[in-house]
Chain A
Amino acid sequence: GESVGLHLPTLSVQEGDNSIINCAYSNSASDYFIWYKQESGKGPQFIIDIRSNMDKRQGQRVTVLLNKTVKHLSLQIAATQPGDSAVYFCAETHHNYGQNFVFGPGTRLSVLP
C-alpha cells in the first residue's frame, strides 16, 4: 500500500477468492501494528493487531503476517465477500511512544461479483 498521491492503490478480487493487502512500514523500532478497515463515509474499524514478538496472527477469516526483516506487514482475507469492499490501512507504533501511531495511506479493496 504505497502512497500514490491522491489515488489509492486498488486491489480487485473475485468474490470467494483470497485477498492479500500489503503495507510497508517506516520505523524498524515499531513493535505494535494494527490493520483497520474503512468503509466509505465511515470511521476506521479495528480488524486485527500484532506485536513484534509474533510473525503471524489469525482472526476470523483474516490473518496478519509480519516480516520485520523487510519492514513489511500483510493482511490476508479468506473467501473475500462483497462486504469486505473498503479501504484497508495499517498503523504502527512503539509501546514507548504512548499512543502516537503512524498510519499508512491505505489500499482500496474492490470485490467483484
Chain B
Amino acid sequence: DGGITQSPKYLFRKEGQNVTLSCEQNLNHDAMYWYRQDPGQGLRLIYYSQIVNDFQKGDIAEGYSVSREKKESFPLTVTSAQKNPTAFYLCASSTTGRGYQPQHFGDGTRLSIL
C-alpha cells in the first residue's frame, strides 16, 4: 500500500540532545512537509521541500533542521536549540504543479522531554 511512514511513534529527548524523526513516502510525491501540532492549535509548518536537494523554512523553523537527499525521505532533526520540543510532529507529502493538491499525512511522532 502506498503511504507515508513516520518513525518512531514515540521519542524521548534528553537535555542538550539532538534527535531525528524519520519520514518516508512511497507515493512518488515531489513535495514533503513537516508540521508541529500542539494542543488546541492548528498545524504549524516547520520546513517543506518541493524537490530533492532543496528545502525551505516554514513559520517555525528555529531549532529544527532537515535534509532531502532522496525523493522518498525527509528526516527532521530537533536540535538542542529548540527549547520547547514537546509536541506531536506530522510529516506530509503532496504532488506539485499548478492547481489544487491536497496533502497526505503520516501517523506522527510524539516527542517528549526526559
Contact = CB atoms under 8 A, between A and B. Distances in A.
A41 B40 CA distance: 15
Interface residues of A, number: 29
Interface stretch (A13-21, A44-52, A58-66, A78-86): A44-52
Q: Range of interface residues on chain B?
A: 20 to 34
A80 to B, nearest CB: 23
Contacts of B50: 98-99
Nearest to A8: B40
Interface of A: 3-8, 32, 34, 36, 41-46, 49, 51, 89, 91, 95, 98-106
Contacts of A106: 42
Interface string B44-56: 0100101000000
A105 B40 contact: yes
Contacts of B69: none
Contacts of B4: 43
